[in-house]
Chains A and B, each alone.
Chain A
Amino acid sequence: MHRNLLLVPLLCFSLPSLAMQALDDDSLASVNGQSGISMEISGGGWSAGNVSYSEDGKTVALKDVSNRPASGSTATSTTKIDVVGNQMVVEHKASPQQLAVNNIEMAGSSKSFGSFRAFYTLGATLKVKGGGASGVSGIGLDDSKLSLTDVTFYYRDNGFDLIVNGMSFDAYLNAAYVDIVSGGSGKEIKLDLGNLRLVANIGGISLDLAHSDAVSGVPATPGSPDTRDPNYSKSFGSLNLDLRLGGSLSIGSGGASGQGIRIRPNLTISNSLFQYQDEGVLRAENFSGVLSSTNGLTFDLESDGVGTYAQVKFPDLRLNATLGGLIIGNASNQKLGSLGIDLNFLDDGAKQNWLKLRPGGDPNSGLKGVTADVSWNMVNSSVSLTDNGNSMWFSGLRTNGTGQITLDLTKSCAAGASTSCYAGTQSDMSKGNYNGHFDGLRLGLNNVKGSYSFDGLRVGTANAPLQGGTELLVLMEIFPAYDFTLNGQLTIQPGGNVGSGVRYNADFYVTEARAAITVDENGRGLWLSGTSYDMHFRDGTLDIASGAAGEKGGVELRKGTYWSKLDVSDVRWGDRATGTSLGRIMLKRFEQGSSLALSSGGAGALCVGASGGTASACGAAGGRWEDRGNEGVSVKLKSVFVRDTAVDTAVNGVATDEKRNQVLWETNRSGGNGTGAQLVIDNFSTSDGDPNNPNANTYGVNADLNLDVAPTKVKVKSGANAGTNVTPDPLGFAVNGRITFKEVNVDRLQNVHPTGGAVTAMYGIKAQNADIRANLTATPIN
C-alpha cells in the first residue's frame, strides 16, 4: 500500500513532462501570452469620507480622502506582471494623480492639523522573489526601483498654503529583503536595505498667503498656481540628496504603552551627497553616518487633560554623521574640511526624549496648525571639525529641556484687515511688545526650558586631554554652557536678500538664563547669572550667497533692524548661583544693517608677531610664519550701531529708550536693580567717519574670525623644563580675529547715584581708524 502511494507523485510529474518538448519555430509563432499579464486601468479614481486609525480607544481621522486624476476626469495606469528568471517582475506606470485629505483630526478635539493635497506620478519596477535575507523565508526585492516624480505638495493651514514643488524621489533597491522576524510585541517586519540608493530633489518651497483659493472652490494646481500673493514665486531654495543607505529598518507592533507602532532604525549612510542651493551652495560631497536606536521609535495615540495627541518616543537614538568635503558659499570655495556630529539621545529618569503632536497651533491662529510638546535629553555627544586632516572635538556636549512649539501659517494685518490675519493687542510692529502675527510660517516657542554645556575641546584625537578654547567663540554668543527659558516666535518667508532664501521676523525672550564665559569641568568659571535677554529682529534675511567676484560668499544672516536688551543680574566668579558677584551688567543694542556671514576656508598662511606677506619677509621682521592650510571656517560679524537722536524716557537721569545703545554697570545694590551706583556708557554708535557725509553709517564694527585646527609653538609653562618648546608643535584651536571700525562715538559717560541722580563724567568719546588683530592658538596648559 505504502509503496503504491509513493508512486503517485512520480506519476504526477511524469504527466506534464510529456509536454516539455522543445517547440519548433512554427509552433512558437502560434503561441500567445508569453509576456505575462498586462492590466490597464482607467477611471475617475476613488474617495472615502473618513479613514481613521484607532488604538487604545483614541482615534486620528483623515476626512474626505480622495485620489483622483491630476487633470481631466480619467486617470490611467498600466501594470505588467511577468516572470523573468526566478523573479516576478511587476512594472507599474500611471498618469499624474492627486491625493487629497481635507482635514486631519483627533477624535474629541475641535482643532485639526490642517489639510493637504499632493500631485504625483508613480512608477515602479518591483522584482520579487521568494527567500529573504536568510534565503529561506521572506521576500527578496533585488534590482527593484520605485519612482515618484513631478510631485507638488500643498499643506493648508487656516486658508494659507505651504507649497513644496519640483519634488522627485527615486529609490533603487539592490540586495534588499523583507522578512518577518521576532521583535516588538510579537513579530516585526524587517526591511533589509542592502545597497539602497535614494535620489531625492526638492525644486523649491514657497508660501501662498492669499487666503483660500483664487476662484472659490477651485484649488490651485501646479499648472495654474494662485498668483494673488505677490511673493508666490519666491522660494526657500532647492535641495538635492543622493543617499546610499544600508542597514535595516524594523517595524513592529506595540507602542510605548498598549497598542501602537514601533520602528527600529539601524541605518547606515555612506558616500552620499547633500546639497542645498540658494544663490550659493551648502554642499557635503561625502556624507556618511549611522542612525540607530536599540529600543526604537514608538508611535502612540495618548490623551491627557489637554486632549488627545500623537506621541513619538525614543528612549535612545544615535545619529552619527560626517559631512565630508563641505563647501559653503561659492561652489569654487576652499572646503571647510569635514564636520562631524555624534548625537546621543538617551532617556535618563525624568529627562526623556519625546514629541507630543496636538492638533491646532498658536491660540491666535485659528483652529488649524500643529502644536508639539517636546522633551529632549542628549548625553555625551560631540561636534567635530576636521581641517587639512587635523581634527578638533567640541567634546562632552550635553543638552536637555522641555517646552512647547507651535507651527502655523500666519498673516499680519499690516496691509489692512483680511481674513485670518491677526493684529494682536499691540499692533505696532516696530515695538518690542508687538504681539500680532507676521506673514509666513510661524514657529512659536512657549516656555522652552533647556540647558546645554560642553566639557571642552579635544584637539588631535578624540581622547586627547580636555582643553579650553570655547571661550574664543563667546564673541559669536556661543557660550561653553548655557541654561535658559525661551519664549517668542520666529516667522519665516521664502525669498532672501537676493533670489531664494529666507526672510524672517523674530522676537525672542530669554529669561532665567545663566551663561558661562569660561568654565571648568567642575562648573566653576565666570558666569552671566540671572540673565534676561530680549531680542527683536525685523525684516532679516538668511541666504547662502555665492558672493561677488573675488568674495567667498557663504551663509549670510542679515539682522535687518535689530534691537536687544541683555540684562545680567550678576556676573559671578566661581559657582553659577552662589559665586561672588561683580555686579549687574546691562547691554542694550540698536542696530540696522548688521550681519553674520560664515564661509568655508580658514586663515591660510599668516605672519604671527610681525608684519610680512611671505615666510621670508615675516621671519626677517621677527615674526613666525604659520601655514594653517587651505581648509577651515571663516566668520564675519558686522554690527552697525545706530545713534538714538532723542531721549524719549529716562529714569534717574539715565535714558531708558527701548532702541538705544547703552552699557550699564551697577554695583552695591541695596534692593534690586536701580538701587546701586551705576556707570553708564550712553548712546554709543558707529559712523563711517566721512567728513562730507557725517550721517553715513554702513561700515559698522567688523569682527572677522578665521577658525582652524593647526600646529603652533608652545612653551612648557612650569616645572624643570619651563620655557622650553614642546616638540613637535602641538595642534591647537587657532582663531585669527580682526576687529575693524572707522568710527565709534559715545555720547556721554554717566555716573549715577540711586538718589543723587546722574552726573556726566565724559561729554563724548570718539574712537577712529581701528584695525585690531588677535591671532591666538588655544592649546592645553603644559
Chain B
Amino acid sequence: MTFRRIEWLFLWLALLLPALAHSELQPMADDALSATSGQGGVYLSGDFSINKSGGVLWTTPTSNVASTWTANQRSCATLGASSPEDCGMRIAIRAEAAGGWYVLDNMKGIFSFDGLTLRTRFIDSGFNGDGSSFNQDTLEFGLPNEMKFQDARFTFAVANQGGWRNKAGTAANGGDATYQQTNIFSAKVDGSIRMQGNVLVFPKN
C-alpha cells in the first residue's frame, strides 16, 4: 500500500511538473535573441541559504547526549560525532490516513550565484522554426553560469510522527519515548555546478 502511494506520488509529481513548467535548455540563436522584447528585466546576484546557522525552533545543545536536551534543543550531528551541530529544516509528509511520515530532515546549505536573470520574453521566432508556431510569452529565468553549493545536505527518513520528538528526553523536556525515526540515507553536496542557458516557464493548455 505504501509503495503504491509512493509510486502514485511520483507519478503525480511527474505529471504536474511539466504542466507547470516547460523547460527549454537550448542556447539561444541570434535570431531568437533579436525577437526578444522587453529590456526591463532584472539581474540578480547573491545567495540563497537554508538554515546556514541553524533554525529557529531548535537551539544547539552543548552535548550530543539526547537525554540531556531541553524541550527546544536538538543536535543534528552525525552518529558518533564529538561536538553537537545545529539542525536544518525538516519537512514531513503523510501520504496515508493514520499512516507513517516521509521525512526530509536536516535540510541546509548555501547556494550562491552571480547572474540569475528574470524577465518576460515573447517568442515568435527561432528555435529551429518552432518559435513562430509557439508565438507565446514566457517567463525567462536566465541561469547563472555557475552556482556554488556549500555544505548542502539532507537526510531522507521515515517516522511515526510528523514533528521531531526527543525519544530519549523526559516528558518535562518535551521527550516522547514512543517516537520512531529511521534515517534511510543522507546526502551532502559541496562545490560548483555549471548551469547555462535559460529556463522558460509558460502555461500550457
Contact = CB atoms under 8 A, between A and B. Distances in A.
A761 B20 CA distance: 18
Contacts of A465: 39
Contacts of A522: 37-38
B137 interface: yes
A713 B148 CA distance: 15
B175 to A, nearest CB: 8
Contacts of A767: 89-92
Contact of B89 (A471, A574, A771): A771
B139 A518 contact: yes
Given A610-B150, A714-B43, A769-B88, A520 B120 contact: yes
A568 B164 CA distance: 36
Contact of A764 (B53, B56, B93, B119): B93
Interface stretch (A158-166, A311-319, A407-415, A687-695): A687-695
A742 B39 contact: no
B96 interface: yes
Interface in A556-590: 571, 573-575, 579-583
Interface stretch (A55-63, A193-201, A397-405, A773-781): A773-781
A738 to B, nearest CB: 9
B94 A762 contact: yes
Contacts of A520: 37-41, 119-120
A636 to B, nearest CB: 14
A146 B60 CA distance: 66
Interface string A520-543: 111011100000000000000000
Given A608-B46, A609-B150, A771 B114 contact: no
A775 B41 CA distance: 18
Interface in B136-164: 136-139, 142, 145, 148, 150, 162-164
B120 A526 contact: yes
A456 interface: yes
Given A525-B120, A765-B93, A717 B115 contact: yes
Given A622-B148, A767-B91, A518 B51 contact: no
A734 B44 CA distance: 9
A766 B55 contact: no
Interface string B48-81: 1111111111100000000000011000000000
A709 B106 CA distance: 34
A715 B92 contact: no
Given A520-B40, A780-B43, A771 B174 contact: no
A763 interface: yes
A706 to B, nearest CB: 12
B42 A468 contact: yes
B2 interface: no
A299 B53 CA distance: 62
Contacts of A525: 120
A219 interface: no
Nearest to B106: A769
A699 B56 contact: yes
A467 interface: yes
A518 B137 contact: no
Contact of B54 (A471, A771, A781): A771
B70 to A, nearest CB: 10
Given A769-B57, A772-B89, A573 B45 contact: no
Interface string A450-470: 000001100000000111110
Contacts of A722: 145
Interface string A597-620: 000000000001111000000000
Given A690-B71, A769-B58, A723 B145 contact: yes
Given A518-B120, A743-B163, A778 B53 contact: no
Contacts of B205: 580-581
A777 B37 contact: no
B112 interface: yes
A767 B56 CA distance: 12
Interface centre among B51, B71, B162 (most CB of A within 10 A): B162
Contacts of B47: 608-609, 623, 773-775
Interface string A752-769: 000000001111111111
A690 B73 CA distance: 11
Contact of B56 (A610, A622, A691, A771): A771
Contacts of A17: none
Contacts, number: 237
B52 A769 contact: no
Interface in B176-192: 176
Contact of B52 (A519, A761, A773): A773
Given A573-B136, A574-B136, A609-B112, A769 B40 contact: no
A741 interface: yes
B137 A573 contact: yes
A722 B145 CA distance: 10
Contacts of A742: 55-57
B44 A778 contact: yes
B50 A770 contact: yes
A764 B92 CA distance: 8
B3 interface: no
A472 B185 CA distance: 36
Contacts of B89: 767-772
B199 interface: no
A764 B91 CA distance: 11
B117 interface: yes
Contacts of B93: 762, 764-765
A770 B55 contact: yes
B118 interface: yes
A769 B51 contact: yes
A27 interface: no
B168 interface: no
Interface centre among B46, B150, B175 (most CB of A within 10 A): B46
Interface string A694-711: 000001000000000000
A743 B176 contact: no
Given A466-B40, A768-B90, A763 B51 contact: no
A416 B91 CA distance: 50
A774 B91 contact: no
Q: Which 5 A-B pairs have the closest CB atoms?
A: A574-B137, A468-B42, A520-B38, A769-B55, A609-B112
Interface of A: 455-456, 465-469, 471, 518-522, 524-526, 571, 573-575, 579-583, 608-611, 621-623, 667, 689-692, 699, 712-715, 717, 722-723, 732, 734, 740-743, 745, 760-782
Given A715-B45, A781-B117, 14 more contacts: A456-B40, A521-B38, A521-B40, A522-B38, A580-B203, A691-B163, A692-B172, A713-B114, A765-B94, A769-B55, A771-B52, A773-B49, A778-B43, A780-B43
7 contacts: A467-B43, A524-B120, A717-B43, A740-B55, A743-B163, A769-B58, A771-B89
